[in-house]
């Protein structure tokens, strides 16, 4: 009970703190955001030590002693964080800056899920023959490149074909990453812990989505407000919005590059099997 509640409060307060930091309608937003952030950290510490001491933990922390398992989970969080940043922020750009309606926005980005659905099964079968860390890492490289290109080339007049290509690259990259990374995580987990491993893998996706949405919004609004003070132009004006959007994509590109190294450094699956 204590483990479940402390972990729930940790995630809730962490995401909420990112929202509060940029809430212009809340007085002393920085103070309240800081309080929520510190409290979330305290909740995580309580969760960590409780899970280590209890006989029936909701998350068996000993599983994270396996580097391949731990790095796979952390990489998944960063990957889906980056994915959600693009899926969450691009539609607002297309609506507010390019004036597109919902149907047209869907047509522009539909290439991403389609590409992911096509590539995913092939990468999964390939990861049965090649060490999954190589394929997953290549997928993360693709996600990083996608974010870098958006950070560099996205403007108020960017051709729609460019955005369509970016969506397809994202889908291909995620399709290349997801199955091999899942394969690596599940093969690293003890057989009696496969259910827990599957739950943690799904949890990592939800954590990535939640943090990606909250953190990208906080960064975008925060940078936009700083540019508003400098330029004197309304914060929602493209003069402030576009640079803030590009900087935000650049920051998450850096996170994705870190994820490439984490993915690659998880260790070789074949070497672990041989050692056994």
- The pLDDT, as a whole number, for residue 129 is 86
Who contacts 14 (Cβ-Cβ below 8 Å, separation ≥6)?
36, 37, 40, 211
Query: Tell me: the pLDDT tens digits for 156-168?
Result: 999 999 999 999 9
CB-based contact 154:127 (threshold 8 Å): no
Stretch 184-210: mean pLDDT, rounded?
Answer: 87
Rounded distance, CA 220 to CA 104, Å? Answer: 24
Q: Which fold has domain 63-275?
A: Growth Hormone; Chain: A; (1.20.1250)
Query: Tell me: the pLDDT tens digits for 95-134?
Result: 999 999 989 999 988 988 899 999 988 888 888 888 888 9
Rounded distance, CA 18 to CA 140, Å? Answer: 25
Query: Tell me: the pLDDT tens digits for 19-34?
Result: 887 776 777 777 888 8
- Closest by CA to 218, choosing from 239, 247, 253, 257, is 247
- Closest by CA to 209, choosing from 39, 20, 78, is 78
Q: Per this entry, what is the length of the chain?
A: 276
- The continuous run of DSSP H or E covering 55 comes out as none
Whether the predicted pLDDT of 270 surpasses 80: no
- Scanning the structure block, which residue is given the tokens 């939640």? 210
Rounded distance, CA 77 to CA 259, Å? Answer: 9
Least confident of 48-62, 217-231, 254-268: 48-62
Report helix, strand or coil for 127: coil
Whether the predicted pLDDT of 203 surpasses 60: yes
- Closest by CA to 96, choosing from 233, 242, 226, 225, is 242
- The pLDDT, as a whole number, for residue 252 is 94
- The pLDDT, as a whole number, for residue 24 is 65
Least confident of 92-106, 178-192, 261-275: 261-275
């Amino acid at each position: 009970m204590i483990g479940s509640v402390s972990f729930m409060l940790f995630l809730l307060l962490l995401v909420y703190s990112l929202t509060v930091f940029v809430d212009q309608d809340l007085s002393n937003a920085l103070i309240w955001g800081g309080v929520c952030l510190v409290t979330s950290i305290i909740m995580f510490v309580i969760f960590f030590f409780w899970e280590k001491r209890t006989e029936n933990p909701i998350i068996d922390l000993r599983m994270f002693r396996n580097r391949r398992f731990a790095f796979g989970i952390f990489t998944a969080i960063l990957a889906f964080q980056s994915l959600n940043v693009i899926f969450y922020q691009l539609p607002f750009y297309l609506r507010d800056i390019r004036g597109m309606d919902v149907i047209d926005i869907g047509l522009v980005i539909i290439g991403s899920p389609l590409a992911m659905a096509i590539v995913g099964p092939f990468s999964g079968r390939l990861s049965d023959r090649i060490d999954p860390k190589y394929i997953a890492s290549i997928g993360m490289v693709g996600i990083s490149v996608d974010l870098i290109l958006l950070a560099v080339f996205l403007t108020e007049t960017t051709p729609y074909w460019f955005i369509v290509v970016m969506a397809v690259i994202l889908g291909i990259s995620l399709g290349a990453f997801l199955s091999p990374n899942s394969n690596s995580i599940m093969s690293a987990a003890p057989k009696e812990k496969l259910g827990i491993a599957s739950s943690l893998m799904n949890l990592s996706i939800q954590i990535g989505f939640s943090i990606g949405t909250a953190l990208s919004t906080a960064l975008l609004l925060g940078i936009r407000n700083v540019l508003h003070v400098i330029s004197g132009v309304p914060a929602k004006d493209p003069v402030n919005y576009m640079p803030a959007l590009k900087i935000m994509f650049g920051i998450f590109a850096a996170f994705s590059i870190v994820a490439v190294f984490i993915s690659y450094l998880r260790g070789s699956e074949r070497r672990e099997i041989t050692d056994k």
